[in-house]
Amino acid sequence: MHKTDKFEAQKARAIDVRGKLFAFETIDPERSALVVVDMQNVFCAKGQVVEVPEARDIVANVNELAAAFRARGMPVVWLQQTYDQDMDDGWNLWFDVMAPGDRKDAIVANMSRGTEGHELYSELDVQDGDIKVCKHQYSAFAPNSSMLDSILRKRGIDTIVIAGTLTNVCCESTARDAFFLNYRIVFLSDGTACLSDEEHNATLVSIHNFFGDVRSSSDVAQALKNNRGAFPTGS
């Protein structure tokens, strides 16, 4: 699990921005969803091309929170990073400049539908009633990336709790774009993972100061047990 001491030392900066430590004091079960980003074999399984070892450490927290959401009748959404051939034009800068060489072949082999890498990690507690959404960009809310926005709007969702990997790439990108679509963002400090504590903490600081709240999975679980949806005080 990532160490978040650097985030804890800086999160009070949010008070300077918005006048209080947390933007949201409650979570509304009628209007909230858990969105789990890219917890697929290609990121979570040992030896994979883009393995994120810390992602395996958050599986228990993700599963427990998913169960808490289901218990309140709240949707659980599993996002899957997906390669399709029509993505080539949108990803040519990545394939040609940012990650040249055989990176494209590895992504095609592990992120295409039907491949083992594309599948959700086997240790996740994915239930039949959950929602699976394929996305084609880092952010699920980027233009033409996925149907997530439409799915959530139809359910009256205005708050998303974000878990998954990588903290500083797809999780952060999804959170930022969601914020500008007027979603309330609750970003999990111990339910997201990336390749280093430094990158993880940097994202937590940015999200908490400018895009939403950073909470622990236990904070969210406790709020869901409260009839009023109130987060625990003193977090």
Q: 64-73, 201-210, 218-227: which has the minimum mean pLDDT?
A: 218-227
Nearest-angstrom CA–CA distance, 32 and 14: 23
- The residues spanned by each domain of the chain are 5-225
Catalytic residue among 170, 171, 177, 190: 170
Establish whether 135 is a catalytic residue. Answer: yes
| Bridge-based pairing state of the strands 131-135 and 159-165 | unpaired
Catalytic residue among 44, 135, 194, 213: 135
Q: What is the mean pLDDT of residues 72-77?
A: 97
Establish whether 225 is a catalytic residue. Answer: no
Q: Is the pLDDT of residue 138 over 80?
A: yes
In one-letter notation, the amino acid at residue 192 is T
pLDDT tens readout for residues 26-40: 999 999 999 999 999
Catalytic residue among 38, 130, 213, 219: 38
pLDDT tens readout for residues 185-209: 999 999 999 999 999 999 999 999 9
Quote the pLDDT of residue 227.
76
Quote the pLDDT of residue 105.
77
CATH code: domain 5-225 is 3.40.50.850
